[in-house]
Structure 1
Amino acid sequence: MRELKACYDAYAGKPFSALPAIALSYKPVDANKKPLAAATARNRLSYLRAACRYAWRHHDLGDSNPAERVSMPKVRNERHVYLGRAEFLSICQKIKPGKARAAIRIAFYSGMRAAEVGLAQVHFGSDMFELGGEHTKNGMPRVVPIHPRIAHVVRNPSLWPVKPTKWTVSKEFKAGARAAGYGHARLHDLRHSTASEMINAGVDLYTVGGVLGHKSAISTKRYSHLATKTLQNAVGLVGKKTRTTPKRKAT
């Protein structure tokens, strides 16, 4: 309701057929008439599009889906902050031992989101973190192998299961990052760092997407620029002579 109210002037009194034009022309500004971020415009228009689609589908308002021809503003706000193992460990050293630090270590060595770390299960004798579909972003169940460096965490009753809130873990990580000289880092950057570590070790993007639980390859594509070694090896194959198998003499 708040977001729809914020863009009310853009759509008030207009028919559903005007929605595509509204999406193209909507340029929100703040109280000082300064343009707001493209992400803000996209967020508000997403609510408006959803509301119009709902009205069309459930209340027979309009002859066709008003959201069919809507072009949303493009947003390029992806973060590209990657922490290496040495940087990660220096941050952990600034965080007091406990469940929050354990959750942070698991996040780095598994690629799980902070919320997923608190919801993951490990059954007796298993070497996998297990997540039900109700606990993942894409609604699909997922298993993540337990890295040897955090195996001791899940065997320690004082640390596992990890149940601190996402806010608590984020607060602890941010304080540790500032103390270690990485104040720009955020908790979610650990997930990107996991991907970076795997890619730098030569893991293909498809497998990286499987570990992170990406439903679409498009989500993993954001890390493609990190696969420089793979690209170098691929380019090195251009024009390379292939060894031919010598013909055997007929007996």
Structure 2
Amino acid sequence: MQPHFGGRRIRDLKRYEIRSYINRRLEQGVKLSTVRRELRLFCAAINFAKAEFGLEDMPNPVARLGLSKEEPRVRWLTRQEAATLIKEAEFNAPRPHLPAFIRLALNTGCRRGELLNLEWSRVNFEQKHILLEARHNKSRKRRTIPLNDDALSVLKRMEQWQEEKGVRSPWVFGWERGRITTFKTAWTSALKRAGITDFRIHDLRHTFASWMVMQGISLYVVKELLGHASITQTEIYAHLAPSQAEEAVQRLLPF
């Protein structure tokens, strides 16, 4: 909040000055989410000062400003773009890890950490699923991820590669030096060669969800696959669902 409010007394701050600060930060190109985080810290600091110095009767000018929510980011690839990205990830790659990661993410919707920390002991080839215990995922709930044929093929290829290279690793994304923890350089290079911009690794998860919804899969099913705690989180993909309104009214029986 420095230098905007430096040297000011808390009691003298006005709400219009807080709004002026918000506008200035946004004009500087700062994201609304960042400004909102700054305001939360400022609001908490003022509340602490009120309690510490007996200023409970003093209004907090930052409280309940009612900032509009920032539109959630939903960036996804077309199937052609995804195929191109995988092809470029395979180009001159000394190891199969990045293209394998991309294909698994697109076929399971798993988070980056969920895949990079995946152990072979949690891959069930017979029942065609991988197991995520509570400690393995953000939602802190056990989750079973079904595997389609493409995902199974990727995992078997990784298993074969490790056997061929004599890599004895408990991790699917294991290699000679332990475990892959990042794809930063290879990922950036693959995106550049593929001509794909404004795309992050987490957007592979958005792509999985978007493809599901566009195929008419229920949001509730997608919610379970993604491991969302609330359907509200999954509703950011609702606009991609094919319209079922016309089909619904056609099902009404005539009088």
TM normalised by structure 2 equals 0.72
**Quick one: which amino acid aligns to residue 14 of structure 1?**
I
Could you say what secondary structure the match of 1:83 adopts? coil
Runs of at least 5 residues in structure 1 that lack an aligned partner in the other structure: 245-251
Q: How many residues align?
A: 231
Contact 2:22/2:35 (<8 A) preserved: yes
Which residue pairs with 1:80 in the alignment? Answer: 74
Could you say what secondary structure the match of 1:143 adopts? strand
Shift of 1:222: 0.8
TM normalised by structure 1 equals 0.73
Q: 2:32 aligns with which of 35, 38, 53?
A: 38
Q: Are 1:225 and 2:239 counterparts?
A: yes
Shift of 1:197: 1.2
* 1:91-110 mapped onto 2 (5 Å cutoff): 91-95=85-89, 96=93, 97-110=95-108
Contact 1:199/1:205 (<8 A) preserved: yes
Q: Which has the higher contact order (CA 8 A, sep 6+)?
A: 2
Which residue pairs with 1:164 in the alignment? Answer: 180
Runs of at least 5 residues in structure 2 that lack an aligned partner in the other structure: 163-168, 174-178
For 1:184 and 1:174, how far apart are their aligned partners in 2?
11
* 1:142-153 mapped onto 2 (5 Å cutoff): 142-153=143-154
Could you say what secondary structure the match of 1:41 adopts? helix
Q: Deviations over 1:46-96 (max 9, x none)?
A: 333455667889x797769x7995345224253332212322121111112
Which residue pairs with 2:223 in the alignment? Answer: 209
Could you say what secondary structure the match of 1:225 adopts? helix
**Quick one: which amino acid aligns to residue 177 of structure 1?**
L
For 1:115 and 1:67, how far apart are their aligned partners in 2?
40
Which residue pairs with 1:70 in the alignment? Answer: 64
Contact 1:24/1:73 (<8 A) preserved: no
Q: Deviations over 1:168-194 (max 9, x none)?
A: 324323321221121332222211110
The CA RMSD over aligned residues, in Å, is 3.7
For 1:103 and 1:11, how far apart are their aligned partners in 2?
52
